[in-house]
């Protein structure tokens, strides 16, 4: 879908040539482009300010149908995220205008205060991610995605960007795969189906796949995971994906919360909090898509993706508040709130993975708490880790991909809020406050000495209002971040 072009810009026949323009400096050094930008002087409405847009049709001497100028604003405000956003916005507009093939001009090297590689990568990401429409459930498909998006640049001698573009395609296809799983309604992704759908995609990339059914989970003693699942007719699964390259020296385990619908259980959620709870498997989608992307990029580390999948429902068989269950690790848990189910399915998986695979690093990704959304809002995820180095590398990758994360504390003394009168631990804090922290501390009780981080994506995993390069629904948050992290390990 993405391709590169060099040579004579005016000779390419595309539906549109798109030229980003800065308000206060020339960011191009190609003569043809500079003279095209000169033509905008006659249009008083176009200054190159952020959000400005101007289209010329059928210009003489240029074969493309349209030339579109996009304002990037002042040079000091141009960042990789603003490039991602402007390309995304432009692709969406081209989709609405029913175009098929566009060519976006990359600012010249040395003109932006960032490497050409970084600019091209962000622009390609924005364009690719915006070129996605989730209309599986619409009878009439009103729009179609663009067939091709090209990037025009004149590389300095020796520079090649083909590999960069195919890496962007691989990783952003992962993000889109995750978005689709998250946006799919719960009736079409009950645990067995979701496990099979993911396995189908994983199989294409030759990942090793294991699926444990309810019987197997009972045999193994996943008491905490089974307690969450028992109120539903749709039985739980544990899906394990393995990418193991020859000679790998490190193992990283990724664990994703896969609640296909979170009703809250007997602690039923109120109306208004239920409607979007199909998104409660976003962590699972992110982990699965990361493994699938990783299998194509082929990094040198071994990666285990473990995905506990269950539906949190209420029925005559459902877990009752106050029930006590035995976790895989052996600790007993008093389930004082059936809506704090994410931590219950995660801890059994964490214990099993640590015991079976002895990973060097373990990262879990989960839409774990509403409290994290209260703390950081809907666009920023919380990172919890007692390992400074791991937390910093997650934040660093997050800054690069603009899947924003903020490190949160894990204060030892807050563990007192998880004390149970009758069992070894309670799944519900006795304090009203700091719910994202106490949820993380609950997980930490099962990680032993393994280097571990938890990413709470309850806020950014799902959006109700489209952004420049993401539509309403699942965002696929974390796929690009985790891929970047894995590549750098």
Task: Report yes or no: 151 and 103 within 8 Å, Cβ to Cβ.
Answer: yes
Tokens 């091709």, residue located: 148
Q: Does 339 bind Mg ion (CB under 5 A)?
A: yes
Catalytic annotation present for 179: no
CA atoms within 13 A on the CB side of 408: 25
Residues 6+ apart with CB under 8 A from 103: 5, 9, 12, 14, 16, 17, 18, 64, 149, 150, 151, 152
How many residues bind ligand BES (CB under 6 A)? The answer is 15
Task: Give the residue ranges of DSSP H helices in 131-222.
Answer: 162-183, 191-204, 214-220
User: What number of residues does the chain have?
Assistant: 489
The partner residues of 150 in beta bridges, in order of sequence, read 3, 103
Q: Does 125 bind Mg ion (CB under 5 A)?
A: no
Q: Does 458 bind ligand BES (CB under 6 A)?
A: yes
227 binds, among ligand BES, Mg ion, Zn ion, none (CB under 5 to 8 A by kind): none
Residue 280 has what DSSP assignment?
G
Q: Does 456 bind Mg ion (CB under 5 A)?
A: no
Nearer to Mg ion by Cβ, of 71 and 342: the residue is: 342
155 binds, among ligand BES, Zn ion, Mg ion, none (CB under 5 to 8 A by kind): none
Q: Does 121 bind Zn ion (CB under 5 A)?
A: no
Whole-number Å distance between alpha carbons of 484 and 290? 10
394 binds, among Mg ion, Zn ion, ligand BES, none (CB under 5 to 8 A by kind): none
Write out the two tokens for 12.
Answer: 């390419």
The partner residues of 365 in beta bridges, in order of sequence, read 256, 455
Map residues 250-279 to x or -, x wherever contact with Zn ion holds by CB under 5 A. Answer: ---------x--x-----------------
Give the residue among 375, 393, 391 at the shortest CA–CA distance from 383: 391
- What is the three-class DSSP state of 429? coil
- The one among 351, 367, 385, 397 contacting ligand BES by CB under 6 A: 367
Minimal distance in Å, beta carbon 257 to Zn ion? 7
Nearer to Zn ion by Cβ, of 91 and 333: the residue is: 333
Neighbours of 411 (CB within 10 A): 10
Nearer to Mg ion by Cβ, of 221 and 321: the residue is: 321
Map residues 260-289 to x or -, x wherever contact with ligand BES holds by CB under 6 A. Answer: --x-----------------x---------
Strand residue runs (E) in 16-147: 16-22, 53-57, 66-73, 101-105
Q: Which of residues 326-345 bind ligand BES (CB under 6 A)?
A: 337, 339-342
Minimal distance in Å, beta carbon 255 to ligand BES? 15
Three-point CA angle 481, 79, 168, nearest 5°:
40
- The one among 228, 240, 371, 483 contacting ligand BES by CB under 6 A: 371
Tokens 């008083």, residue located: 44
How many residues bind Mg ion (CB under 5 A)? The answer is 3
Write out the two tokens for 51.
Answer: 């959000």
Query: Shortest Cβ contact with Zn ion: which residue?
Result: 262
Query: CA Rg, the chain, in Å?
Result: 24
Options 66, 84, 343, 404, the catalytic residue: 343
376 binds, among Zn ion, ligand BES, Mg ion, none (CB under 5 to 8 A by kind): none
Task: Report yes or no: 192 and 235 within 8 Å, Cβ to Cβ.
Answer: yes
Options 269, 379, 396, 415, the catalytic residue: 269
Whole-number Å distance between alpha carbons of 108 and 174? 29
381 binds, among ligand BES, Mg ion, Zn ion, none (CB under 5 to 8 A by kind): none
Three-point CA angle 423, 427, 429, nearest 5°:
105
485 binds, among Zn ion, ligand BES, Mg ion, none (CB under 5 to 8 A by kind): none
Q: Which of residues 397-436 bind ligand BES (CB under 6 A)?
A: 428, 435
- The one among 52, 262, 348, 456 contacting Mg ion by CB under 5 A: 262
Query: Shortest Cβ contact with ligand BES: which residue?
Result: 370
Catalytic annotation present for 269: yes
Tokens 């699938």, residue located: 292
Q: Would you please indicate which residues are annotated as catalytic (active-site) residues? A: 269, 343
Positions touching Mg ion (CB under 5 A) are 262, 339, 341
Positions touching ligand BES (CB under 6 A) are 262, 280, 337, 339-342, 367, 369-371, 373, 428, 435, 458
């Amino acid at each position: 879908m993405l391709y590169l072009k060099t040579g004579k810009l005016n000779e390419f026949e595309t539906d549109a040539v798109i030229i980003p323009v800065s308000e206060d400096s020339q960011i191009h050094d190609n003569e043809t482009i500079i003279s095209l930008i000169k033509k905008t002087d006659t249009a008083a409405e176009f200054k190159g300010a952020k959000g400005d847009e101007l289209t010329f049709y059928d210009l003489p001497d240029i074969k493309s149908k349209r030339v579109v100028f996009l304002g990037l604003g002042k040079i000091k405000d141009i960042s990789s995220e603003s490039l991602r956003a402007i390309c995304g916005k432009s692709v969406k507009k081209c989709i609405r205008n029913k175009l098929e093939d566009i060519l976006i001009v990359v600012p010249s090297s040395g003109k932006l205060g960032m490497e050409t590689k970084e600019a091209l990568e962000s622009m390609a990401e924005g364009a690719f991610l915006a070129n996605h429409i989730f209309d599986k459930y619409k009878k009439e498909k009103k729009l179609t995605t663009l067939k091709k998006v090209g990037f025009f640049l004149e590389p300095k001698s020796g520079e090649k960007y083909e590999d960069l573009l195919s890496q962007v395609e691989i990783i952003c296809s992962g993000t889109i795969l995750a978005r689709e799983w998250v946006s799919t309604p719960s009736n079409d992704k009950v645990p067995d189906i979701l496990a099979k759908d993911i396995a189908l995609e994983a199989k294409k990339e030759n990942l090793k796949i294991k699926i444990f059914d309810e019987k197997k989970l009972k045999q193994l003693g996943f008491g905490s995971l089974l307690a969450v699942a028992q109120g539903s007719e749709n039985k739980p699964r544990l899906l394990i994906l393995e990418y193991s390259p020859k000679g790998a020296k490190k193992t990283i385990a990724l664990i994703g919360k896969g609640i296909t619908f979170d009703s809250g259980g007997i602690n039923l959620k109120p109306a208004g909090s239920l409607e979007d709870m199909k998104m409660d498997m976003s962590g699972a989608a992110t982990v699965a898509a990361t493994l699938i992307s990783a299998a194509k990029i082929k990094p040198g580390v071994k990666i285990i993706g473990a995905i506990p999948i269950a539906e949190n429902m209420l029925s005559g068989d459902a877990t009752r508040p106050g029930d006590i269950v035995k976790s895989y690790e052996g600790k007993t848990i008093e389930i004082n709130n059936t809506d704090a189910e994410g931590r219950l399915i995660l801890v059994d998986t964490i214990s099993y993975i640590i015991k079976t695979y002895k990973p060097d690093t373990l990262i879990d990704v989960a839409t774990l708490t509403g409290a994290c959304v209260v703390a950081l809002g809907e666009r920023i995820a919380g990172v919890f880790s007692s390992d400074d180095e791991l937390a910093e590398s997650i934040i660093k990758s997050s800054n690069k991909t603009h899947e924003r994360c903020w490190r949160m504390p894990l204060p030892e003394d807050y563990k007192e809020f998880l004390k149970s009168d009758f069992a070894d631990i309670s799944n519900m804090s006795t304090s009203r406050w700091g719910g994202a922290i106490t949820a993380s501390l609950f997980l930490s009780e099962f990680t032993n000495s393994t280097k571990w981080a938890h990413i709470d994506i309850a806020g950014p995993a799902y959006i109700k209002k489209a952004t420049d390069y993401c539509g309403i629904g699942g965002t696929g948050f974390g796929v690009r971040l985790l891929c970047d992290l894995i590549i750098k390990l």
